[in-house]
Amino acid sequence: MAERTKVYLTIDTESSMGGAWQDPALKPVPAERRIFCRVQGRDCGIGWQCEQLRERGLKATFFCEVLSSLVLGEEDARPYLEFLLEQGQDVQLHVHPNFYFYSEKLWAQSQNVEYFPPRQPDSLSAFPAEEQAAILRTAVEVFRYLTRRQPSAFRAGNYQANATTLAILSQLGFRIDSSYNPVYRTAGSFPGEILPSNRPFALEGILELPVTVVRQQLPAPNKPGGLVQMEICALSAAEMRSSLDQLQQSGVRDVVIVHHSFACVKAKDAQYRVLRPDRIVQQRFTALLDYLASNADRFEVATMGDLAGAEPPRGAEDQYPIPSLGYLKPLVRTFQQAVNQIL
């Protein structure tokens, strides 16, 4: 029997610019709408997610974006960070440079100074080492200030990192990164690098745990080679179960699944002013947790923080296969998602 596969549930926890770059009348979306996702006084974001995890005795790694506090204030970010820590969840660092540059824009406006933002303000991997280092140092300082702890794992916003990013992270005391996503290779995730899929590897003194990918036969735009990341919004419950089974049976030791703080709601506009629960995504989330909890003999739900605190495994030399979803399951899921969007 194959050994247990470690499954890392990762939840990118972040605010949004909400169209503020394009419309000066708008402001970035606060945590209440984009992170807690409150619908008629009830949390449908991280509050609901933590409730589901707690009921099953599971933990996730919440990659938390903190540069938004430069724009929205620490009183916006601190409550959600403290909530996650009180829940006993694993809190690590997530960075969207958008907020860093938007705060510079607001400062320039306050000084009546002309400001020209970068062409790609949210792409960390597009910046030279000096600018990446300034952004990351600021993010670490803010994280420490708000949480009173040192982050040990990192994920770049939109998976936009490269080898330079990892070298800086190593200097800042990080041990683990989970920014590499093969689906985004042509869109800024370690561009130009030849990296393995579905297994850890060492790069620039950092252990990289890439987002796990699967392959579908159904033609789809913007999916090179038919690759799809293991994301709860992207795969049905049946596809997720099939992928996990194939990965475990193939001897894959580490699986990284992606989710977002706002993924279980539908928003009427970019400002998240009107929200309602997304029942299909909620059902996928609970189905995944139930499957992992009921198959604990095959899957161990772990956190990046626990891995960083132990002796991280070396990147294996094995080249693990990419599970195939076939044609029928993706077709059913595509139809289901289309109906869900219409309704």
CA atoms within a 13 Å half-sphere pointing along the CA-CB vector of 334: 13
* Report field, pTM of the whole predicted structure over 0.95: no
Residue-level pLDDT, tens digit, the chain, 343 residues:
558 999 999 999 999 999 999 998 999 999 999 999 999 889 999 999 999 999 999 999 999 999 999 999 999 999 999 999 999 999 999 999 999 999 999 999 999 999 999 999 999 999 999 999 999 999 999 999 999 999 999 999 999 999 999 999 999 999 999 999 999 998 999 998 999 999 999 999 999 999 999 988 765 556 567 899 999 999 999 999 999 999 999 989 999 999 999 999 999 999 999 999 999 999 999 999 999 999 999 999 999 999 998 765 554 555 566 766 654 554 445 545 555 555 5
Parent domain of 222: 5-342
CB 209 within 8 A of CB 304: yes
pLDDT in the model for residue 327: 46
pLDDT in the model for residue 115: 92
pLDDT in the model for residue 301: 98
Residue 209: give its domain's CATH number. Answer: 3.20.20.370
pLDDT in the model for residue 3: 80
* Bridge partners, residue 267, by sequence: 275
CB 91 within 8 A of CB 82: no
Comparing CA positions, the residue from 74, 84, 76, 77 lying closest to residue 54 is: 84
pLDDT in the model for residue 225: 74
> Using CA atoms, how far apart are residues 210 and 181, in angstroms rounded to an integer?
6
Comparing CA positions, the residue from 32, 50, 14 lying closest to residue 289 is: 50
> Using CA atoms, how far apart are residues 29 and 152, in angstroms rounded to an integer?
27
pLDDT in the model for residue 177: 98
Residue 211 has φ and ψ, to the nearest 5°, of -65, 130
| Number of domains, the chain | 1
pLDDT in the model for residue 226: 84
